[in-house]
Amino acid sequence: MTGILNRRAALGLGAAALAAPAARAQGGGYPNKPVRILVPFPPGGLVDLLARSVSQSLAARLGQPFVVENRTGAGGNIGADLAAKAAPDGYTLLASSMGPLAVNQFIYPSMPYDTNTAFAPITLLATTPKVVCVANARPWRNLGALVAAAKERPGQLTAGSAGAGSSLHLALELFKGATGTDIQHVPYRGAAPAVTDLVSGNIDLVIDNVPNILPQIRGGGVRALAVATEARLPQLPDVPTTAEAGVPGFLFGTAFGMAAPAGTPDAVVAVVAEAVAAALRDPAIGGRLAEQGTILGGTGPQAFAALIEQEKRTLEPVIRRANIRAD
């Protein structure tokens, strides 16, 4: 996600809250049976955490169980396909990153569903900003020094990611474009092994989601040089933004949201969107997520649909230029 939640989005969350009573009144008694939330990634990841964090609140507010079900594989396409082909009645929802909702279509040679028509966007759950981190064994103390080293040694510096086409890989390609550098991409099977190799000094840098790498930053395992956000993060107040560090063109974060099968009634979509927004406003849920470095969503269907389209426009040329293909 190239634009992190701002004041306009926050105002949208407030406006959505005002519409809650009307949305529930038009929901036709929805829900009147359990609802499943498909997560197309393994348990324990960020999108799984978000889905499970809001599911109990949804159940309490709407009076039916909201059951999280992990269906993994193919970069999220397997679980997303199940959601896309479910009955459009609001009883199967999808909680996902932007891969299955926006950019996998540019990475995978074939898709089991049409990304552009398969889903009805419900709401943004959260974004996780990216942070540029380097190994402690390296001498670079600021982003300018890292960029200078990359330009002095084109193609020799190494950057780990969670795999080809992952958000960490896309962040690296955007960073290379913004800085005019050539940095070697090293794909791993997940972000955790990439961070492990960064701590060990086997690679030079990782541009990771803040919640993933925040414990290593705070524990001194890696050195954070800059956050790819418009303003400094409360969790990392001493780490400058990329603009402050001399790279104003690099802003990037991973967005997570909720969608339903295309054709799901607007009134049902509105009921879920309002319940999610209310859950994220709950300090017991939203406060805990914010402490881990997430920026909360809850802005509703139109804003989330616009964000998905923005993601497609921004990342398609990056993917084409870098010739990124799924492993």
Domain definitions of the chain by residue range: 7-127+254-322, 129-227
Specify the CATH architecture of the domain 129-227. 3-Layer(aba) Sandwich (3.40)
pTM of the model: 0.85
Chain segment 98-114, per-residue pLDDT in tens:
999 999 999 999 999 99
At 7 the pLDDT is: 34
Domain 7-127+254-322: give its CATH superfamily.
Answer: Bordetella uptake gene, domain 1 (3.40.190.150)
Q: Fold identical between 7-127+254-322 and 129-227?
A: yes
Reported as a single tens digit per residue, the pLDDT across 172-194 is 999 999 999 999 999 998 888 99
What region, left, alpha or beta, does residue 108 occupy, with left being phi > 0 and alpha being psi -120 to 50 degrees?
Answer: beta
pLDDT of residue 289: 87
- Whether the bond between 34 and the residue before it is cis, its omega within 30 degrees of 0, is no
Q: How many CB atoms lie within 10 A of CB 56?
A: 15
The answer to whether residues 137 and 131 touch, using CB atoms and an 8 Å cutoff, is: no
Angular region, 225: left φ>0, alpha ψ -120 to 50, beta rest: alpha
Tens of pLDDT, residue by residue over 219-253, are 999 999 999 999 999 999 999 999 999 999 899 99
What per-residue confidence (pLDDT) applies to 5?
A: 36
Percent over 90 (pLDDT), the chain: 81
Give the residue from 93, 85, 109, 89 showing the smallest Cα distance to 32.
89
